[in-house]
Amino acid sequence: DAGVTQSPTHLIKTRGQHVTLRCSPISGHKSVSWYQQVLGQGPQFIFQYYEKEERGRGNFPDRFSARQFPNYSSELNVNALLLGDSALYLCASSSTGTGVYTFGSGTRLTVV
């Protein structure tokens, strides 16, 4: 079985631009969570979706949004990019939104 897949793996954007990151969960997993990891820190929670509904939102500005599709894949959108948005964006899936979370390889976003 394929694990959690994320695309793209690397991305360079300019300040003010918009970015869309994609995630496909493990087959059978209905929950997807997004995390931001800045260098030298632990991952910070952004969103969790379960059965296409938002279950939780972290302390991030409204420039960050996400959605989950009927096939349980998910997109994270970030508008009006700032230099401080440069980070590794991680997607994690779980069967129910609790229990063991499996992480994807991440998308490395660099904002210049």
* Interface with another protein (CB under 8 A): 33, 35, 40-45, 48, 50, 55-56, 58, 88, 90, 92, 97-106, 108
Q: How far is the CB of 3 from another protein (least distance, A)?
A: 9
Say which residue the tokens 């979706």 belong to. Answer: 49
Three-state SS string across 50-84, please?
A: ECCEEEEECCCCCCEEEEECCCCCEEEEECCCCHH
Return the amino acid letter for 47: F
Tokens read off for 24: 């496909």
- Of 44 and 86, which has the nearer Cβ to another protein? 44
Q: How far is the CB of 16 from another protein (least distance, A)?
A: 27
- List, in sequence order, the alpha helices (H) in 42-92: none
Q: How far is the CB of 26 from another protein (least distance, A)?
A: 12
Query: What distance in Å separates the CA atoms of residue 82 and residue 71, rounded to the nearest whole number?
Result: 31
Q: How far is the CB of 78 from another protein (least distance, A)?
A: 18
Using CA atoms of 55, 63, 78, 69 in order, give the dihedral in degrees to the nearest 10: 30
- Of 58 and 86, which has the nearer Cβ to another protein? 58
- Of 10 and 84, which has the nearer Cβ to another protein? 10
- Of 40 and 84, which has the nearer Cβ to another protein? 40
